[in-house]
Chains A and B, each alone.
Chain A
Amino acid sequence: ETGVTQSPTHLIKTRGQQVTLRCSSQSGHNTVSWYQQALGQGPQFIFQYYREEENGRGNFPPRFSGLQFPNYSSELNVNALELDDSALYLCASSRTGGFSYNEQFFGPGTRLTVL
């Protein structure tokens, strides 16, 4: 069983640029959640995708957007990058996004640095 993978591992961008981060979910999982983890903090929920639709969002501005593809892989896009966007971005996949507990399996993350 292949785990959650993310690419790239590291990324350096300048303020105002746009970035796309990618995530491949674990085999058999149809739900992907994205989290932002600033240095020394716990992960913060950005949004969740289930069956290619966003079905939940945290307190992040619209310049954070995403996609989920038919194979359940996902992208996180961030426009107009700000210095505070520097963080570890984590993708987590699970079997369903609905009304029961399903373990979220995390990928290794993409470390984004905005200069």
Chain B
Amino acid sequence: QKEVEQDPGPLSVPEGAIVSLNCTYSNSAFQYFMWYRQYSRKGPELLMYTYSSGNKEDGRFTAQVDKSSKYISLFIRDSQPSDSATYLCAMSKFSGGYNKLIFGAGTRLAVHP
């Protein structure tokens, strides 16, 4: 079983839709939870990170963490064609004095006009 599970999609939605992306995890030692966006042939860029359970909002994006269920979500409101990309959830834990990111497989999102 992978430490982080993410549905690879693809997910196709019309412009203006609300998008919900989700990940589950098995390791309760994870401390930080992140969402990265990766455009084709580019490196991942950080969208949001959270430390505790609850919601965090940034513009059209809302990240949600439920540590009791080991479940995280990213909501995108008023989705735009420019949001078409692969969305990666990532989690981190400290082990032996270093911090590594553990990623989900990524969900490919297409927003069509």
Contacts and interface: CB of A to CB of B under 8 A. Distances in A.
Interface of A: 4, 33, 35, 40-45, 48, 50, 55-56, 58, 90, 92, 94, 97-99, 101-109, 111
27 contacts: A33-B101, A40-B8, A41-B105, A42-B90, A42-B103, A43-B44, A43-B88, A48-B98, A50-B98, A55-B96, A55-B97, A55-B98, A56-B96, A56-B98, A56-B99, A94-B99, A97-B97, A98-B94, A98-B97, A98-B98, A98-B99, A101-B92, A101-B99, A103-B46, A104-B101, A106-B36, A108-B42
B32 interface: yes
Given A97-B98, A101-B51, A101-B92, A4 B43 contact: yes
Interface of B: 4, 6, 8, 31-32, 36, 41-46, 49, 51, 88, 90, 92, 94-106
The list of the 9 closest CB pairs from A to B, nearest first, reads: A42-B103, A56-B98, A106-B43, A45-B100, A55-B98, A108-B43, A106-B44, A101-B32, A42-B105
A8 B49 CA distance: 30
Contacts of B101: 33, 35, 43, 45, 92, 104
A31 to B, nearest CB: 8
Contacts of A99: 94, 97, 99
B22 to A, nearest CB: 14
Q: Which among A56, A105, A108 has the greatest number of chain B C-beta atoms within 10 A?
A: A56
Contacts of B103: 35, 42-44
Contacts of A43: 44, 88, 101, 103
